[in-house]
Structure 1
Amino acid sequence: MWSSWSRRVVGGRIATAAAMSAGRWQPKQPQPQPPTSPHPHHHLLHHCRRLHQSYSRRFATDDNPARAVTALPLRCTKKKSALTSAKHLVDEKTVRVVGGRGGNGRVSFMKLFGNENAGPDGGDGGNGGHVVFRASENVTGLAHLVVEIRADDGEKGYNKDCHGKGAEHRFVDVPVGTVIKDSDGRVVGDLARPGVMFVAARGGAGGHGNRYFATDTEQAPEVAEVGGAGESLRYTLELSSIADFGLLGFPNAGKSTLLRAITRARPKVAPYPFTTLQPYVGVVRYSDMETIAVADLPGLIEDSHRNHGLGISFLRHVQRCMALMLVVDLSLPEPWSYVHTLRNEVRCFSETILARPQLIVANKIDADGAADNLVALRERLPDDTIIEISAKHGVNLERLLVHMKSMYDQRVGGESPADEHD
């Protein structure tokens, strides 16, 4: 007896044959398949592209068409760390590097069946490892470096002419742009590109075994070499570039508050001066997947180039930024005088730094009398780009970030930033 499945199959085939004989059967057309995505993250890239286009259409204006092609900042939804103490950027460190010691040679004599005096067979020792600094884009600071960096020692020699194993080299990753100075202060290395390496300390050579010293007159030497000691040197590592933008201003101007508002960095904020003693770095992300690093530099006072206040330790950080953001407090009288003081201190330290792109950030626009001071500031500095913000309340921060991206594109891609004079 046929099963129900057999009846359905045979009955369907009979019906199909009858339809074909009558000319009423049409073959099924293949269904169109959706096009395969050429990129594994096609949907994510398409979403980011649509987001960038919508932002560009939103912020494009007739008098400022350059904003239509400037990427917009992305809002970070990830929560900040709950740790009580935030880590600052370590941009200078003195370390001692020691190369590995070479392995000792072996004193040994071969013993064979029927020949107890077959001759020396002591092997050589292995070479010690080098200490090598390597520029890497995955490292942002020098906090991971220990005070003393040692390479492994070579293995000693063995009998039967077996040489010891050479030690592996010790590679230490440092940020791109690290400058290496010796104990006399001379620059001996500049790791300006990713992958560039600098041999800081060479390992010692392995010692020869007694097999090496066998001659026609001395066929049974009982002497072997001791492995050589590795180099022991002291270096000072400094970062030549810690951020794209540096926040420059007097104490309590709002630099730390501004960095907290636009990035996930957590510098210390307090109502007394010199709360920032070390630089803090935050990252701003944009809709075109580009990132810009912003550094909160220590506060500046008058005569800092004469080592007043934090002095040279502050000015040393200024020379490592691509552009300067002069943060002034609008709640104070005559804010333009602070701009002149800041530029004079930078000029006394280095003329080349003063020639870099600058942006004046007028902070605390929500304070009493700030609107009048802003008008006076624009009159005194008509040739400068001034953006008024309130870092505490988040006023006009998006416009500031857009202009920062435009300045960054000019520096990197050769585009000209849009003028934003009001």
Structure 2
Amino acid sequence: QKAKILKNTNLKSLRAVGGKGGDGCISFLHLWSNEFAGPDGGDGGNGGHVIFKATSDTKDLVNVLTVIKAEDGEKGRNKDCHGKNAEHCVIHVPIGTIVKNCHGRVVGDLSTEGVMFVAARGGAGGKGNHFFITDTQQSPEICEYGAEGEDLEYTLEIRSMAHVGLIGLPNAGKSTLLRAISRARPKIAPYPFTTLKPHIGMVQYDDYEQVAVADLPGLIPDSHKNRGLGIQFLKHAERCTALLYIIDLSQHEPWQHLQILQHELSQFSKYLLERPQLVIANKIDLPEANENLELIKEHTDLKIIPISAKVGTNLTELLREIRILYNKSKEENAENL
């Protein structure tokens, strides 16, 4: 049976609707000893809010609905019985989710565990006629309707998608490498742009630590000008903690490929080059690879790890280096907290 390919859902547009407040009640109390005991209409309950909450238990936005509506408050009743306030609708989203309004402006950043963002407030409950008693009006026959809840549109975007992102030109061997070090099964084919959406693979270590590695779509020259859906692909790189450049050693002058990738990242965001980086020299098993490996070392100061994703050469050292990058980022996050 063919293994399933799990695509990461990291962008979702939705509509958040707060609950309607309950209506107030018009009622007059009649007792056996006092037929005109006065108004006793209760107030309506408040509508529920729609709230986004960051949690480490959620990894993507697959289970987030496109229309989220909170419950309505209950109506007021006679004998001064107030309506029940509605429960808030709390939606769990991954840590690192940013919330944008309909104009594309960032209005929420859920960067730590337990942080909440109120997306749509529920309407207030209406007042019953008991509330409107005055010195001159002892038997008011008026009440309030419950207020409507807010109805707003948002875009949720996961900023931190994986611990490590695989960056490279098309057909550099990114998907092959992800299949070699994890159980992910992205599509592999001998033509460019086989990968159009990020694929996430979990690398499991002996101490039960798991590191998420993302196979990102290939970049081409002028990607920062949105050539070949470049901006969309570069946004995926922005959501990775560390970047691994996958360079095909069988190509002519492969160090130029590294320069192209670094240029595209710097043009999109200058902060991307400040993240931990590593050069993975792939296809070392081919005849011309050893000569190109020595040449590429002369053109960069980054650490280079020669591997063959297809044959499995030197993957153990690569996994060790990935773990070192992961531990460093984990320590930095702990210090920031």
TM-score range, shorter chain: over 0.9
Please, which of 18, 40, 61 is the counterpart of residue 142 of structure 1?
A: 61
Distance 1:124 1:266 in 2: 57
Please, which of 389, 392, 404 is the counterpart of residue 322 of structure 2?
A: 404
Partner of 1:9: none
Is the helix fraction higher in 1 or 2? 1
Distance 2:250 2:158 in 1: 35
| Residue 376 (structure 1) shift | 2.8
Q: Report sequence identity in percent.
A: 56
Partner of 2:77: 158
Match of 1:220, SS?
Answer: coil
Distance 1:234 1:275 in 2: 33
Q: In the alignment, residue 413 of structure 1 is paired with which amino acid? A: E
CA contact (8 A) 1:123 1:157 kept: yes
Q: In the alignment, residue 399 of structure 1 is paired with which amino acid? A: E
Please, which of 372, 375, 385 is the counterpart of residue 303 of structure 2?
A: 385
1:360 maps to 2:274:
no
Q: In the alignment, residue 26 of structure 2 is paired with which amino acid? A: V
Q: In the alignment, residue 176 of structure 2 is paired with which amino acid? A: T
Match of 1:351, SS?
Answer: coil
Write the deviation string for residues 227-253 of structure 1: whole angstroms up to 9, x where unpaired: 000111111111121111110001111
TM-score between both structures, scaled by the size of structure 2: 0.94
Write the deviation string for residues 344-388 of structure 1: whole angstroms up to 9, x where unpaired: 11121122211222111111222342233223323444x221111
Write the deviation string for residues 235-286 of structure 1: whole angstroms up to 9, x where unpaired: 1111121111110001111111111111122222222211211111122122
Partner of 2:153: 234
CA contact (8 A) 2:3 2:185 kept: no
Partner of 1:394: 312
Is the strand fraction higher in 1 or 2? 2
Task: List runs of 5+ in structure 2 lacking aligned partners.
Answer: 333-337
Q: In the alignment, residue 308 of structure 1 is paired with which amino acid? A: R
CA contact (8 A) 1:298 1:310 kept: no
Match of 2:211, SS?
Answer: strand
Write the deviation string for residues 108-128 of structure 1: whole angstroms up to 9, x where unpaired: 111211433222111111000
CA contact (8 A) 2:6 2:200 kept: no
Partner of 1:325: 244
| Residue 89 (structure 1) shift | 1.0
CA contact (8 A) 2:42 2:127 kept: yes
Call closer, same or farther: CA 1:405–1:85 in 2, change over 3 Å: closer
1:293 maps to 2:197:
no
Write the deviation string for residues 161-196 of structure 1: whole angstroms up to 9, x where unpaired: 111110000100111111111122222111111001
Q: In the alignment, residue 99 of structure 2 is paired with which amino acid? A: I
What pairs up with 1:214-293 in 2 under 5 angstroms? Answer: 214-293=133-212
What pairs up with 1:7-406 in 2 under 5 angstroms? Answer: 85-381=4-300, 383-406=301-324
Match of 2:271, SS?
Answer: helix
TM-score between both structures, scaled by the size of structure 1: 0.75
| Residue 409 (structure 1) shift | 2.5
Distance 2:157 2:312 in 1: 34
CA contact (8 A) 1:183 1:235 kept: yes
Call closer, same or farther: CA 1:226–1:83 in 2, change over 3 Å: farther
Q: In the alignment, residue 72 of structure 2 is paired with which amino acid? A: D
CA contact (8 A) 1:299 1:310 kept: no
Task: List runs of 5+ in structure 1 lacking aligned partners.
Answer: 1-81, 415-422
Write the deviation string for residues 323-354 of structure 1: whole angstroms up to 9, x where unpaired: 11000112222211111111111121122211
RMSD: 1.6
Distance 2:85 2:270 in 1: 51
Aligned residues: 332
